[in-house]
Structure 1
Amino acid sequence: MIRLRHREFHIGKTMDVSVERVWDIITDTWTWSRWGPSISDVECEDRYVRLGTMGRIRTTLGFQVPFVITDYHPLRFWAWDVAGIRATGHGVEPLGPGRCRLIFTVPIWAAPYIIVCLLGLISIQRLLKS
């Protein structure tokens, strides 16, 4: 599912797992390089993100950039700035017991990043099955 809402793209996938399991993966900095196609490593004092969490990601292109979590609502949504620029959002919507929708938000100016988000959704689904 890809939709344009409020000047940003929403890229989502329904999953047959609990909100808590998906939230655990998307907030755990130790797993980001396993599902984030553009991330090869993370340096962060917090294993699980929260409002104000700061760190650095190493991209798959080899350079490091700083990040800060700028928006955080437990078991619902978090967003970040990467290299000082508003980047993606990461949300989970409950759809009933053991079912949810994972949604990434992408600013309209970063439309090509939709492909990276689609690959991330697939990787997260694989992680959940392993």
Structure 2
Amino acid sequence: MTHLSLHADGPADPGTVWERYADTRLWSTWSPQISRVELEGAGDRIATGLRGRVIAIGGLRVPFEVTSVDAEAMKWSWRVRIGPVAVRLDHGVAAHPGGVRTTLDLHGLLPVVALYAPVAQLALRRLVSA
């Protein structure tokens, strides 16, 4: 299992960045690899136990489950799985000089983490933009 930490700083307000995470309808606005999100059950906000599928550009359907949410601390985690391959993603948002810093810790097999890291970094930069 490989662990890789990424971060991005930007001018957005921390509350705005948290809302971009918390409302799954907004994911495709900042994450270029996501075309839409399909959820199981009611609601559009992340919550522990929320399940669904991220529909990637090209139609790939990636099942996920949100494993923890701490809205006060602006941290959340989820697990995505394609067949036998799973990745855990731990996200955080915090005030930072000039705006906000968002962090992402990726946990998974080295090839998967290495391939996903550049796309994730681009998404983080878009997430923290004004």
Q: If the length of structure 2 is used for normalisation, what is the TM-score?
A: 0.78
- The number of residue pairs the alignment matches comes to 120
| Partner SS, residue 47 of structure 1 | coil
**Alignment-derived partner of residue 123 in structure 1:** 126
| Partner SS, residue 18 of structure 2 | helix
Listed as ranges, the matches of 1:10-29 within 5 Å are: 10-29=5-24
1:32 counterpart = 2:27:
yes
Identity %: 28
| Partner SS, residue 25 of structure 2 | coil
**Alignment-derived partner of residue 75 in structure 2:** 77
| Partner SS, residue 112 of structure 1 | helix
Give unmatched runs, 5+ long, in structure 1. Answer: 1-6
| Partner SS, residue 111 of structure 1 | helix
One-letter amino acid of the structure 2 residue matched with residue 46 of structure 1: G
Q: 1:36 to 1:17 in 2, by over 3 A?
A: closer
> Cα RMSD over matched residues?
2.1
> Higher relative CO (CA 8 A, sep ≥ 6), structure 1 or 2?
2
**Alignment-derived partner of residue 112 in structure 1:** 115
Offset of 1:92 from its aligned partner? 0.8
Offset of 1:31 from its aligned partner? 1.0
CA contact (8 A) 1:106 1:113 kept: no
Offset of 1:89 from its aligned partner? 2.0
- Runs of 4 or more, structure 1, over 4 Å off, are none
CA contact (8 A) 1:35 1:123 kept: yes
Deviates more, 1:81-90 or 1:51-60: 81-90
Offset of 1:24 from its aligned partner? 0.4
Deviates more, 1:19-28 or 1:81-90: 81-90
CA contact (8 A) 2:14 2:94 kept: yes
One-letter amino acid of the structure 2 residue matched with residue 9 of structure 1: L
Q: Deviations over 1:66-104 (max 9, x none)?
A: 2110122114211111127233222112336x7321112
CA contact (8 A) 1:46 1:53 kept: no
Offset of 1:21 from its aligned partner? 1.1
Deviates more, 1:82-91 or 1:32-41: 82-91
